[in-house]
């Protein structure tokens, strides 16, 4: 699956004001809960934190792909959040993160989940694309760029 298959404008955030790893993950989960109405923000946060305990999802170059598996939902959702200021996120290159692409996927869809993660990593490995994302001032601009690149 491609990122655009799981993302909509309501799940695209720009100029987010968050100063900690926990806070940005809470904002992401709160946003995702509007699409995954059978799950609470807390349940979604628990799924992301379980994955973060295994190792940071900060992949370097200011990008993180937090992801969680859902045991009680059969719907996959993505949330893209660009923060106003980079946040310490324990990324593999020890650099702070300002582009977050979160993925919530049903536990039984392991192969699709991995393919989607690969698609996201490939899309955001393009430095020119990331530079354009960082220049955006609205969620609409971020979403339009992702749509154009997909």
What is the pTM for the complete model shown?
A: 0.95
Catalytic residues: 67
Q: How far apart are CA 73 and CA 83, in angstroms?
A: 28
Tell me the pLDDT tens digit for each residue of 73-85: 889 999 999 999 9
**Who contacts 130 (Cβ-Cβ below 8 Å, separation ≥6)?**
61, 62, 63, 99, 124
Tell me the pLDDT tens digit for each residue of 92-117: 999 999 999 999 999 888 677 788 88
User: Can you read off the two tokens belonging to residue 95?
Assistant: 């650099």
User: Can you read off the two tokens belonging to residue 28?
Assistant: 């992401």
Tell me the pLDDT tens digit for each residue of 19-55: 999 999 999 999 999 999 899 999 999 999 999 999 9
Q: How far apart are CA 92 and CA 150, in angstroms?
A: 26
Q: Where are the beta strands (DSSP E) in 6-96?
A: 12-16, 58-60, 63-64, 67-70, 77-87
């Amino acid at each position: 699956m491609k990122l655009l298959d799981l993302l909509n404008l309501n799940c695209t955030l720009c100029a987010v004001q968050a100063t900690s790893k926990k806070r940005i993950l809470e904002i992401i989960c709160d946003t995702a809960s509007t699409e995954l109405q059978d799950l609470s923000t807390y349940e979604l946060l628990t799924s992301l934190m379980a994955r973060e305990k295994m190792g940071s999802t900060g992949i370097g170059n200011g990008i993180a792909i937090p992801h969680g598996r859902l045991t009680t939902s059969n719907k996959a959702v993505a949330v893209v959040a660009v923060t106003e200021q980079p946040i310490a996120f324990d990324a593999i290159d020890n650099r702070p993160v300002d582009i977050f692409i979160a993925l919530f996927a049903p536990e039984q869809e392991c192969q699709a989940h991995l393919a989607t993660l690969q698609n996201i990593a490939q899309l955001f490995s393009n430095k020119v694309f990331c530079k354009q994302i960082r220049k955006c001032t609205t969620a609409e601009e971020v979403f339009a760029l992702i749509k154009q690149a997909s």
